[in-house]
Structure 1
Amino acid sequence: MAEEMRGGCQCGRVRYTATVHDDEAYLCHCRMCQRATGGVSIAFKNVKKADVRWEREPERYASSPIARRGFCYQCGTPLTFEFPDSENMDLTVGSFDAPDRFRPVHHFGVESMHEQWLDTTGLTRYRTDENPNVVKRWMDKVGKLPD
């Protein structure tokens, strides 16, 4: 079923509405995505370019001779990956207002996958509000914890 979903960058300067037709997403582990995000992988939702409406277009960087990446120059949030000659594009799952709507269905770029980062279920977990130093910083600056 088609559903309109909103998203955007961390500072709110770049916002979009995308029509999504399912809950399928994927994790990319390629070295280019690792370098572009500073992470070990990135979660993407593939959509038709025609199904994305931008309130403000992101800046785009030609990250290779065959692809470009959309981002907000103000806060640095990675927003897209796309081949200019394709009718599809990827939106970063984390940039959606409701990223929990999606589920990973496959891995891509597995030649660069870091297996030790995939199953972290046995690691100790900490909530933001359990760290008094972080809580104090947020409370002193804005009077509340972030969403």
Structure 2
Amino acid sequence: MSETTSDEDPHEGGCLCGAIRYRLKGLPRDVVHCHCSLCQRSSGALFVTWATVDLRDFELVMGEPASYRSSPTAKRLFCPQCGSQLFFHIDDDRRIDVTVATLDEPDRVTATRNTWVDTRREAAKGFDRDLPDYTDEGPESAHH
């Protein structure tokens, strides 16, 4: 018998080495492929897929992430042991962004748009053509 999950079930995730674990209550409110240059540099990838959740729906279960202030008003949080980029948080915001690839079941969420496409790398052009492209954060901003 196979077990099924629903969008209301918690989403759990963590870093590569397992030192940091987190839990999200319910479905993330916004999921985007961010092509900004800061996401590219911080991840070493062509883009980062983020899921935005309300802070009240986010729980750090194990470990303590390190942080790097990537702009005057925001920081990126990562595992100090393995370096996995995990979260993005703007000061005083009631939301937090989680890297979708660190979810235990990343296929439970689906991106709705590509953002900051003016800095999209040539190798990623044409990626996810079915999604709208935005030169900024687009509607329902996830603020990367």
**Are residues 1:105 and 2:109 paired?**
no
The sequence identity of aligned pairs, in percent, is 34
Distance 1:75 1:15 in 2: 13
Within-5 A mapping of 1:49-68 = 49-55=55-61, 56-68=63-75
Aligned residues between the structures: 121
Which segments of 5 or more consecutive residues in structure 2 lack a partner in the other structure? Answer: 1-6, 129-144
| TM-score, L = length of structure 1 | 0.75
2:13 to 7, 11, 16: 7
1:30 to 30, 33, 36: 36
**Are residues 1:45 and 2:45 paired?**
no
| Structural RMSD (CA) | 1.9
Equivalent AA in structure 2 for residue 37 of structure 1 = S
Structure in which a larger fraction of residues adopt helix: 1
**Are residues 1:73 and 2:80 paired?**
yes
Structure 1 residue 82, shift from structure 2 partner? 1.1
Distance 1:22 1:88 in 2: 10
Corresponding residue SS for 2:40? helix
- Alpha-carbon spacing, 1:96–1:26, altered in 2? closer, same or farther (3 Å): same
Equivalent AA in structure 2 for residue 106 of structure 1 = R
Structure 1 residue 114, shift from structure 2 partner? 2.5
